[in-house]
Amino acid sequence: MTCSQFHENAPARVVVVGLASCFGCQLQITNDEAHLLDVLGQIDLQYWQLASSAPEPEGDVDVVVIEGAVTTEESRRCVERWRERARTVIAIGACAVTGGIPGMASKGLHERLVDVYGETLPDACGETLAPRSVSSVVEVDFEVRSCPIDTADFIAVLERALYGSNVLPYADTMCGSCKRNESGCFWKMGKQCLGLVTLAGCGAKCVNLGRECNGCRGLSPFANLDSARAMVASKGMSVEDFNASLELFNQTNPMLEKGE
């Protein structure tokens, strides 16, 4: 059911919430100046954490957009509270979708905290959790991947949430995008690139700019990690380095655990 079906004579009530992140994905939303006002004209933006210091609104909403990883009990409760209050939950950016950069601290979190703070955490930290994605805490209806997100991708997903769509989510790997772009292959140059296991959908922007894919969109559900590791070894490259690269944006992905 789309939000337009909830309130046919009123714009959808939308809030934007930020958790553990750099807030870059929220900032990225503002970078599409040509269409931003058109988007805002279709919704009732009741709260945007980046843009206002006002307190969170009360009552139910149609859409909650969440950026950032869940890293504390407070943020876990925040996510659960908005899941109860919102008809639709959209997770945006690698931190919210895969755990992202905060997810790098998910293993051995206590030891990491002790290294930084000693045995006594500042009260402001609250009760910490191993960083995790929003979808590992509550059900998520839509995702906008990448680090940072692509503004056009966010608008397209928001439109699907508001009005419905029969567009299927991406499931293939990035290598197909490179072939369609005729942008060449880093593996042929003796460089490791995560495009062979990373979820497609960004158009292989980094590769087009001459940089290897670092996997910020997370693993494709069709990724064959065992075959990828075998190919790395066949190229005479370090499988350990490949595994370390995979962990950058997939620390909390169960697929990575199964492939170890």
Model confidence pLDDT, tens digit, residues 74-108: 999 999 999 999 999 999 999 999 999 998 888 88
Determine the Cα–Cα distance for residues 212 and 204; give it in Å rounded to an integer: 9
Q: Return the structure tokens found at 117.
A: 């703070």
CA dihedral 249, 143, 140, 197 (to 10 degrees): -40
pLDDT band of residue 8 (cuts 50, 70, 90) is low
Percent of the chain beyond pLDDT 90? 63
